[in-house]
Amino acid sequence: MTPIPVRYEDGRALTLAGFAERFSMADLSGLPRLWQRFGPHIGHVPGAHGHDSYGVCYNPDEQGGFDYLAGVEVAATARLPAGFTHLTLSPQHYAVFEHHGSLQALKATFDGIFQQWLPASGERSANAAVFERYPAGFDPADPHAVMEIWIPLERR
């Protein structure tokens, strides 16, 4: 089934901080480990703003590689602990999708967005970071959990 955006939104600038690693679309097995390492820091990051957490895909290459940051929004980056990476996302126009249930099926939702919805929508993806927004208290094991996928679009 082709995913459908739940809304379109003009996002604001976001400064996010957390742990980042390089991944490949061919091997996403390290993503859960990255979140397991970062998870204990949620709620304890200096300067954290809000209660949501974010997964950001950025710096893609032609071979399917990309950087991924598991983090939270911060108001400032000066007091971040050693080993933290920070990233500022510029305001963008987004199509926002919801993913329901297990994160095991998250790749299928992304595939549906990029291989089915985007080509059929008449929209064009902007050259900007794609991110996942996890609400406070998100439980990846909950079959009824809901998170959002924000896809940056070119303005028309």
CB atoms within 10 A of CB 99: 20
Residue 61 in domain: yes
Residue 134 in domain: yes
| More confident of the two residues 105 and 122 | 122
User: What pLDDT, on a 0 to 100 scale, did the predictor assign at position 19?
Assistant: 98
High-pLDDT (> 90) share of the chain, %: 84
In the predicted model, is pLDDT for residue 109 greater than 90? yes
Residues 11-42: tens digit of each pLDDT: 999 999 999 999 998 888 899 999 999 999 99
Residue 1 in domain: no
User: What pLDDT, on a 0 to 100 scale, did the predictor assign at position 105?
Assistant: 86
Residue 22 in domain: yes
In the predicted model, is pLDDT for residue 140 greater than 90? no
Backbone angles phi, psi at 106, to 5 degrees: -60, -40
Residue 48 in domain: yes
Residue 50 in domain: yes
Residue 137 in domain: yes
How far, in Å, are 4, 21, 23, 30, 33 from residue 36 at the CA level? 30, 13, 16, 10, 5
Range of the domain at 40: 7-153
Query: What average pLDDT score do residues 44-53 get?
Result: 94
3-state secondary structure of 149: strand
Residue 2 in domain: no
User: What pLDDT, on a 0 to 100 scale, did the predictor assign at position 57?
Assistant: 97
Contacts of 156 (CB under 8 A, 6+ apart): none
Number of domains in the chain: 1
Query: In this structure, what CATH number is given to the domain that contains residue 121?
Result: 3.20.80.10
Question: What are the tokens at 85?
Answer: 């990476």
DSSP track, 22-60: EEETTB-THHHHHHHHHGGGTT-STTEEEEEEEEEEES-
